[in-house]
A and B are shown apart, each in its own frame.
Chain A
Amino acid sequence: MKYLNGLALTSAAILLAACGGGSDTGGSSSVDNSGARGSLVHNPPLRVTGMTAAEFATRLGETANGKSLLQIAGTPKCGVNFHYMEYGTVGGASEATNATGAIMVPTGSDPACAGARPIVLYAHGTTTDRAYNIADILDPARPGASEGSLLGAMYAAQGFIVVAPNYAGYDASRLAYHPYLNADQQSKEMIDALAAARKALPNIGSADSGKLLLTGYSQGGHVAMATHRALQAAGQTVTASAPMSGPYALAAQGEATYFGNVNLGSTVFTPMLVTSFQRAYGNIYTNLTDVYEPGFAPGMDTLLPSTTPIGTLFAEGKLPQTTLFSSTVPTAPTPALQALFNNITPPTTPASLAPLFALGFGTKNLITNQSRVDFLLDALANPDGAVPAVTTGATATAPAHPMRKALKANDLRNWSPKRPVMLCGGNGDPTVFYSINTQLMKSLWTAPSPLAPAAGLLTVLDVDSASPGAGDPFAAARAGFAQAKAATYAAGGANAVTQAYHGSLVPPFCNAAARGFFQQVLASGI
């Protein structure tokens, strides 16, 4: 009888065992919720998807974009595992926060894919999409899928580990804004994402060779250069960098805009910059109407990035599509200044860009004339060395206007690289002007300028230029760009080229050139 009772008790015990805790996850994983800079929250980070080289090639071949990417990037040598990580970092006011990003790891037995691999730390371009996730390439329609696939094909499938943060203020980041073009925050975040990714690598079957390559496009071009500057200042390894189409001379780009050279995308860039700098420095405005017209001011500090598509924000009148400034000429304090204001509202030269600038002016404008005039008066009193006229090429010595001070604080015309740098862009860029960014950096970094780096460290590529001939390592990038530009022109004329130039025509060719540059630096063992 004792035994029977024993059996009954066993059954009861089995019932009680029901109150269990976690399951057997079939592997070890750890969680770091410290929020410390560079902490990796989940280790190993989630693998979003993993493909062999052949599967990746097949998948790219399924879409038109993928096909052209395959042509430019070449057939994948390596399989790629796409991971999604969350890490601790800081916001624009040094507040602790979190952000997410991608780690792409080459796989396969090809010698170009196995063993310890170099890391490409990539900074993405401006996006208004709060849900931007460069690790999520599962569906081509998702916001980060196009850039994520490009990185996978261009770098990871050719043997580079890719680390690409989504940035604080995007995806699952708790930060309520994005520290847009904040050189200090963005370089810190890149370094934090890299530290977090390095913690993950041993747990996702990968290893880091210690070689670090920095690149990024547009906003990310600025971020990549700021990161190079920060790592160099901290005495840490940078193997090479290849910033692409970035507003490196941020103050010069800002001056150009306020002098009427309104770039394509300015109604997005301006509020993102104003919000970023207000959060970092607190002195850009007291009331939103100090900067924005009353029709747009309410909520402008939290409008971008948004989960609402930018087209909808335009359609709903939350943001003007192109009209940054008023077409009513601002009133100047003197007749001479009035003549200047007349000439830049909007500017009519150069003739080729006049139609672009004209789009920046209208009656439903974003920025008040008063705000523009205040900026311009300071710009005339304490001029930038590159805009409106090239003098020293350097930033303004003593800007007094808070926005101009902020732009200068995040301008990258104040350093000189000690490792190889390639600047890539296209001279016809209607969004980030080539002449006052890439060309300007080139002149500042060319002897006899005091900032000139050691000979041979600087390479500048304008993909929108003719090849100098035999021996040009970038002949393919130039030819590919020319072909793509011609095809866009044939399909939609000059306007189509303008629309596609910065966002889709230049990026793949500059990335291909950047990869070639990195491979050359690695091979040379400099």
Chain B
Amino acid sequence: MKSLNTLTASVLALACLGSGAASAQTEWLAGTTVRLGYTHLAPNSSATDAVGPLLPGPPSGVSLKVDSQRTLFFSLARDINPNVEVELALGLPPTHDVRAELSPALPPNVQRLNGQVIAKVRQIAPTLYVNYKFGEANSAFRPFVGLGVNYTNFDKRESTALGNQLNGGPTDLRLTDSWGLAAQAGLNYKINDKWSLSAAVLTARVKTQLTATTAGQARKIDIRFRPTVFTLSAGYVF
């Protein structure tokens, strides 16, 4: 269902682009590149052991790992000069599976949940880049590098049935927002004056603190992400 939604969104978005291209251009969009494509996001999370009441240890041996996800990529970019562009990268917010990572020292009744999906977390992570594009403005292939600021918000969090089993009951999850540096490197291929293709690898520094509250007992885990994000997109200049 989710992939079907994504597909529908992509088709709709492309249709929008088409109709946009066909209609008269507004003043503010002139010179803006709109990129739409595919993103694969490997979060490369590393998390501390949970701390808080009624846990084993310390260390509690209870931690987590965030799974990869794919989503629709969308960005708006504007040239400042022939070599420098400002890009706001967005995307359809991906929902990641979060898996339990449990120490082998924990007893078997807890071990049973090792590797199981204990939560689903949706993140919204707009990133603002300043990209430097190498080469001439009319070159077909232009490598680029970008440096930026990432903001990440975890807007939807759900503890799964297995997550509730691990935590000991219905569990409320909260994750703090993150601000951090982001960087990307990629290659643009210019098809014609309007259309181009881009491939990029990007990363960001994302840190958050997860608070899992079960029946009033709050347990905390610090999570650090060093994501590897790969995007493929088609761009259109207005």
Contact = CB atoms under 8 A, between A and B. Distances in A.
Interface of A: 1, 3-4, 6-7, 11, 14-15, 17-18, 20, 22-29, 31, 41-42, 44-52, 55, 58-59, 83-84, 86, 135-136, 138-139
Contacts of A136: 54
A3 B19 contact: yes
Nearest to B153: A18
Interface in B44-85: 54-57, 74
Contacts of B174: 22-23
B216 A17 contact: no
B216 A86 contact: yes
A510 to B, nearest CB: 29
B56 A138 contact: yes
A4 B169 CA distance: 44
Interface of B: 13, 15-17, 19-20, 23-26, 29, 34, 54-57, 74, 90, 92-93, 107-110, 124, 126, 153, 155-161, 163-164, 168-174, 177, 214-217
Given A14-B93, A22-B172, A41 B216 contact: yes
Given A11-B90, A26-B171, A41-B216, 5 more contacts: A23-B172, A26-B158, A27-B159, A27-B170, A84-B54
A197 to B, nearest CB: 14
Nearest to A31: B216
Contacts of A55: 107-109
Contacts of B160: 26
A25 B172 contact: yes
Nearest to B15: A3
B54 A48 contact: yes
Contact of A46 (B16, B19, B24, B54): B54
B156 A46 contact: no
10 contacts: A6-B16, A7-B13, A23-B158, A29-B169, A42-B216, A46-B214, A51-B107, A52-B109, A83-B168, A139-B56
B220 to A, nearest CB: 15
Contacts of B57: 139
A173 to B, nearest CB: 14
A248 B93 CA distance: 66
Contacts of A59: 107
B74 A11 contact: yes
Contact of A26 (B23, B110, B159, B215): B159
Given A23-B173, A28-B170, A55-B109, A7 B16 contact: yes
Contacts of A50: 109
A18 to B, nearest CB: 4
A44 B215 contact: yes
Given A1-B26, A4-B17, A23-B159, A29 B168 contact: no
Contacts of A7: 13, 16, 74
What 4 A-B pairs are tightest by C-beta distance, nearest first?
A27-B170, A23-B157, A42-B215, A47-B168
A15 B155 CA distance: 9
A79 to B, nearest CB: 9
B170 to A, nearest CB: 3
Contact of B215 (A4, A23, A28, A45): A45
Contacts of A47: 168-169
Contacts of B74: 7, 11
Given A1-B23, A15-B124, A26 B163 contact: yes
Contacts of B109: 49-52, 55
A132 B81 CA distance: 69
A509 B169 CA distance: 35
A236 B171 CA distance: 36
Contact of B169 (A15, A23, A44): A44
Nearest to A51: B109
Contact of A24 (B16, B93, B124, B159): B159
B7 to A, nearest CB: 16
A86 B171 CA distance: 17
Nearest to A43: B215
A26 B126 contact: no
A55 B112 CA distance: 12
Given A46-B168, A52-B109, A86-B216, A26 B161 contact: yes
Given A3-B16, A25-B164, A26-B160, A17 B155 contact: yes
A25 B213 CA distance: 9
B217 A46 contact: yes
B102 to A, nearest CB: 13
Nearest to A11: B90
A124 B146 CA distance: 65
Nearest to B58: A139
B110 A14 contact: no
Contact of A4 (B16, B54, B55): B16
B21 to A, nearest CB: 9
Q: Which of A7, A41, A55, A83 has the most CB of B within 10 A?
A: A7
Contacts of A24: 156-159
Contact of B156 (A23, A49, A138): A23
Contacts of A22: 172, 174
B14 to A, nearest CB: 11
A20 B158 CA distance: 13
Contacts of A28: 170
Contacts of B90: 11, 14
B108 A17 contact: no
A103 to B, nearest CB: 12
A42 B34 CA distance: 50
Contact of B159 (A25, A46, A135): A25
A20 B156 contact: yes
B108 A26 contact: no
Nearest to A6: B16
B164 A27 contact: yes
Contacts of A45: 169, 215
A268 B112 CA distance: 44
B20 to A, nearest CB: 4
A3 B171 contact: no
A45 B54 CA distance: 13
A352 to B, nearest CB: 45
A269 to B, nearest CB: 30
B141 to A, nearest CB: 28
A84 B160 CA distance: 21
A58 B108 contact: yes
A141 to B, nearest CB: 11
A138 B173 contact: no
Contacts of A23: 156-159, 172-174
A48 B126 contact: no
Contacts of A42: 169, 215-216
Contacts of B108: 55, 58
Nearest to B92: A14
Contacts of B163: 26
Contacts of B13: 7
B173 to A, nearest CB: 4
B20 A3 contact: yes
